[in-house]
Chain A
């Protein structure tokens, strides 16, 4: 990797990768660096592009980085990553994709991720998407995520796409077993003519399972966002969907939270709000000495943090 690659990757990792840390770096369809341990074994798939990330039973406190980098203009990359996490594991996985594209031909990354999480695990998954380059509308990142969350396990997902990705279809499907908990925080920011469709389908299958889905987004310029979420309670369970969007300029935002209770013991709630930046918030920050533009920036920064 050259310095430019490192700089682009820094936008999704916020740090440089140590060669001895557990990692897998994929650049333009090739694995360019990989390091496994006894606890976490990363296997490159032979039948199709992607990896199997196998985490040993009882492994505690491991930290894994698996970024994808696309710098070849017009490159189309699809990866199938499986995360096989055995029982009693505590782990953090940092993933994401960064695209640099200066030409008019579209560069596209499609990530198909399957999480098989055993019992009594605590997993944190951080995923960031980033695009850069001279031309708009040529950087596409799509994700298809399948989650099987085992008994007594928790999965915390932080997914962020705040700059430079022009088109994106994000799909997440999850099935939760007894006493498991899924916590998803999604942050999206679109500008220019960007389009994002984000869909969630969460099956609260197990007894006493919980899911909390929070989406915060900002749509600027002529961009478009569509947030569609469905949470189905099939047992004694708790589920909450919250989607807040700030809309600016000529942007368009659609938000459809849906909750379905198939059990009398299901407790499901949802909140959805779309609106421009609150006028009183702008005025308050101006009374503290900020210009209107500075106030707007602070409100956006706070909202996305």
Chain B
């Protein structure tokens, strides 16, 4: 179980997150949504250790990990994917998968992982993870490295950012498959209704606090009222 207890985060006097309490069970599929600047990404970064909270605790399976370093959390079962995947000059897809598997890796594993994210291993294992790859390809590779880590909790920061509609269809399928595997707890920041449909819970963030938790229907009214323009635009499309 992953618990956030009274998490607050301020920059100077500006409150980014205000007293967040949240429990995520091992096989939960949670989607976090809300307007830009509402604190969603910061929350995920706090769980991963990329940002230190001003106050509050992060508890993983009863263990306080608030002061643990990023790599320690990664090796304890928390995996994070970046909104904008990072480019590497010289490191290949194989290298990243190998690192993610703590070097217990062979190409059979690599092939299976890339298949899961809809990429052909023969074409991609030797490719450098650089800007010659498209946004959709980088995003799939980012997800493959996350799956390779075999963490208990996978945190995705706007996986749809920077990819086209067709790639997003595939991405939705990837999340459905992860959910079906029942091996990971999933926390996904998204504005996409198609992900709300398959989530166990949708959490609406606004102004650094949780405004609503529920299924798609329960939060729909709030979304309209809260003027989350991006959500509304996506919905209308």
Contacts and interface: CB of A to CB of B under 8 A. Distances in A.
Interface of A: 216, 244, 278, 280-281, 283-292, 294, 298-299, 301-305
B97 to A, nearest CB: 9
B222 interface: no
A303 B96 CA distance: 13
A58 B143 CA distance: 51
Nearest to B149: A288
Given A281-B88, A302-B91, A304-B90, A286 B70 contact: yes
Interface residues of B, number: 24
Contact of B89 (A244, A285, A290, A294): A244
Interface in B106-132: none
Contacts of B70: 283, 286-287
Given A286-B70, A286-B71, A298-B91, A281 B99 contact: no
Interface of B: 48, 50, 69-71, 74-75, 79-80, 82, 86-92, 95-96, 99-100, 102, 145, 149
B90 A290 contact: no
A280 B82 contact: yes
Contacts of A216: 89-90
A288 B96 contact: yes
A301 B92 CA distance: 11
B50 A298 contact: no
A294 to B, nearest CB: 8
A286 B74 contact: yes
Contacts of A290: 71, 99
Contact of A289 (B50, B74, B86, B91): B74
A231 B228 CA distance: 54
Contacts of A284: 82, 86
Contact of A299 (B80, B91, B149): B91
B99 A287 contact: no
A278 B87 CA distance: 9
B195 to A, nearest CB: 22
Nearest to B48: A287
Nearest to A278: B86
B71 A303 contact: no
A281 B128 CA distance: 14
Given A285-B99, A299-B91, A280 B71 contact: no
Closest 6 CB pairs of A and B: A302-B90, A302-B91, A286-B70, A289-B74, A284-B86, A303-B90
Contacts of B75: 289
A289 B89 contact: no
B102 A289 contact: yes
A304 B90 CA distance: 7
Contact of B79 (A287, A299, A301): A287
A292 to B, nearest CB: 8
B95 A302 contact: yes
A186 to B, nearest CB: 14
A216 B102 CA distance: 27
Nearest to B76: A289
B99 A288 contact: yes
A281 B86 contact: yes
B95 A298 contact: yes
A72 B87 CA distance: 46
